[in-house]
Amino acid sequence: MNLTINTKRLVLTPFCIDDVELFHQLNINSYVREFMWDDEEITLDTAKEIMQRNERHFEEDGFGIWKVVLKETDELIGYTGLWYFFNEKQPQLIYALLKQFTKRGYAHEFSKAIIRYSFETLNFKYLIAATDEPHIESQKVAKGLGMKLFEKRIENEKPTLFFRIEKG
């Protein structure tokens, strides 16, 4: 199964264990970690654990976390994918984008590709995305994708909003 996803401006390729340092560097970026990691710096060991699980998920389940690279410059701008959070039954849409690449439509573009992949390839009936309540930009992306707010709850002592889209 080819797990590379192409969009108009982006190439999404699965992270692998050899990308541990790269994944770690992305996640200790102050903008990324603010909402992705509650502003805590993850350790290299945590990044390695995630990359090991990521490889297993891609091998066994056909999903995980993809690197997001600009086609035009071959520049890494963030990541996206499907990951388990909050004891949900199926993985959720996840993404992180470096600040200098926000507000250009990239999050919408790669999220739309992951939603399509989830419905067409994985045959999901729905997809959820969660965001910290203060993260207004992520809420805008979810709403722009046609996702509907369906729940607000406290997760890790923080108000968290849950958005959902149904297979059409």
The rounded distance, in Å, linking the Cα atoms of 1 and 125 is 21
The pLDDT score that the predictor gives to residue 1 is 60
Mean pLDDT of 111-138: 94
DSSP state of 136: H
pLDDT tens profile 42-74: 999 999 999 999 999 999 999 999 999 999 999
Query: Coil, helix or strand for 49?
Result: helix
Angstrom CA distances, 39 to 32, 57, 82, 165, stand at: 8, 26, 21, 28
User: What pLDDT is stored for residue 12 in this prediction?
Assistant: 98
Predicted TM-score (pTM) of the model is 0.93
Q: Once rounded to an integer, what is the mean pLDDT over residues 3-14?
A: 97
